[in-house]
Structure 1
Amino acid sequence: MSVANGSPYDENNIFARILRGEIPAKKVYEDDYAFAFHDINPQAPVHVLVIPKGPYVSMADFTANASDALVSGFFRAVGEVARQLGLEEDGYRILANAGINSHQEVPHLHVHIFAGRPLGPMLSRGM
């Protein structure tokens, strides 16, 4: 079982439930390693989430505990989603939050793909 910050993976988080088909999602892409779908509260004209097929809380958890095939397949899926959506020419941003200070809202590793307009600076400069 994956653990992050001392807490075990929550099998009932929304992304785990989406992977099990208990909650619908507007699918963009799926393979043996990943599932990609449109965010229900988009922060850009294109806002897609890509999640690995497995119980991983964060990037650190994922890269420490997933098989090499899953890690490789997941990152290939992120690239494939960007290609299929035609995001290469104008550009896109990939973001993965981990933990409280990053404002991770769902305790399942997920990568956001943002595109469709100029996105501005990556972080606010205020401290």
Structure 2
Amino acid sequence: MSEDFYCDEVLSGRTPVRKVLETDNVLAYHHTRPYYPVHIVAIPKKHIPSLLTLEPSDHALLIELMDVIKKVAEQVLAEHGGCRVLTNLGEYQDSKHLHFHIVYGKPLR
């Protein structure tokens, strides 16, 4: 896997995705290799390596990202009755681009 799948593949258009919600600065889409029955990823379009590298200048973007995550989570909750919102750090973070998973159900594998 590339160091930044989201910039290199998704945002570049090399890997097509099924969009759930998109703004000027944020994209939420169905995971390309889902680990859960419902598995949506939300990413900022600006490269930010992780939650820990956010800068004060990123605050407006973070609010927009959280707003998209909230809307997607509301959709999943309404349809399935629950969901989880997750982010990974360090060795758990495969792609070094800030991203959140909105998931429902038990792991598929």
Q: TM-score, normalised by structure 2?
A: 0.82
| Aligned partner letter, 1:106 | S
Contact 1:34-1:73 within 8 A present in 2 as well: yes
Identify which of 94, 97, 103 aligns with 1:108: 97
Is the alpha carbon distance of 1:108 and 1:76 closer, same or farther for their aligned partners in structure 2, counting shifts above 3 Å? same
Would the alpha carbon gap of residues 58 and 33 (structure 1) be closer, same or farther in structure 2, given more than 3 Å must change?
Answer: same
Q: Which protein is bigger by CA-based radius of gyration?
A: 1
AA in 1 matched with 2:35: Q
Taking a change above 3 Å as real, the CA distance of residues 113 and 33 of structure 1, as seen in their structure-2 partners, is same
Amino acid of the structure 2 residue aligned with 1:113: I
| Aligned residue in 1 for 2:60 | 69
1:45 equivalent in alignment to 2:34: no
Conservation of the 8 A alpha-carbon contact between 2:76 and 2:83: no
Extract unaligned runs of 5+ from structure 2: none
Segments of structure 1 that go 5 or more residues without pairing to the other structure are 1-9, 121-127
Structure with the bigger RCO (C-alpha within 8 Å, sep 6+) is: 2
Alpha-carbon RMSD across the aligned residues, in angstroms, is 2.2
Indicate if the aligned counterparts of 1:13 and 1:108 stay in contact, CA closer than 8 A: yes
Aligned to 1:94: 85
Alpha-carbon distance change, 66 to 81 in structure 1, aligned in 2, over 3 angstroms: farther
Aligned residues: 104
Q: Which has more helix, going by share of residues?
A: 2
Q: Report the CA distance between 1:65 and its aligned residue.
A: 5.0
